[in-house]
Amino acid sequence: MNYFQGGKEHPQHISVGAVMRNADSLIRVHHFPKDVTKGFWKSIGVTDLYILMRETLEPNETLEAALARGLAEEFNAVATLDDYLGAIISTPYDERTPGERFPFEKTTLYFLCTYEKDAGVRRDMSDAEGQSILEWQSADFLIPIMKTQRERFARDDVDESAILERLAAR
């Protein structure tokens, strides 16, 4: 059992997130331009969503290991960990059981990373994140879009603009 997943029995969720920049200071994001047909995002009817890399912590896994695993699995990337950017705490709902909704506290710790190279890992196309288009975008492009996502999807965990604003203010 993953005690960091969030849900009815364990209403807390711990994740790491990456703001991975390239040499041109562009940020790697998942872009879901159309309806997601599998997994978690299907439950909220995702269309035209932008999110950063986020990976759930596994039992006995360090934050650094979870970050490296997430970057490899979701972005096929190896990156250097540069700095801690802060956290977003949100309250989404576990909707994995048909007809039931359970609120849980989701804490995502975000880290600034610099892209080094491809990891040589094939993305898992059966996973929801495997259905995204990976894009390099500027913070100026992403911030206003992410601000509107909270209302569009009625979920506070899809607005990561505060983390990007913190980075832009440096």
Q: Cα angle vertex 160, ends 6, 117, to 5°?
A: 95
- Rounded CA-CA distance 70/68 in Å is 5
- Rounded CA-CA distance 53/67 in Å is 9
In three-state secondary structure terms, 32 is: strand
Residue by residue, pLDDT tens for the chain (170 residues) are 566 666 667 778 899 999 999 999 999 999 988 766 555 556 556 678 999 999 999 989 999 999 999 999 999 999 999 999 999 998 777 666 677 777 788 899 999 999 999 999 888 877 778 878 999 999 999 999 999 998 888 788 899 999 999 999 98
- Rounded CA-CA distance 88/110 in Å is 8
Confidence at residue 91, expressed as pLDDT on a 0 to 100 scale: 78
What CA–CA distances, in Å, run from 129 to 14, 24, 32, 60, 99? 18, 24, 9, 24, 24
Length of the chain: 170
Q: List, in sequence order, every residue forming a beta bridge with 81; answer none if it has no partner.
A: 113
Q: What does DSSP assign to residue 101?
A: -
- The span from the first CA to the last CA of the chain, in angstroms, equals 39
Q: What does DSSP assign to residue 4?
A: T
Question: Checking DSSP bridges between strand 77-90 and strand 105-118, what pairing results, if any?
Answer: antiparallel
Q: What domains appear along the chain, each with residue ranges and CATH number?
A: 12-168 (3.90.79.10)
| Three-state SS letters, 34-99 | CCCCCCHHHHHCCCCEEECEEEECCCCCCHHHHHHHHHHHHHCEEEEEEEEEEEEEECCEECCCCC
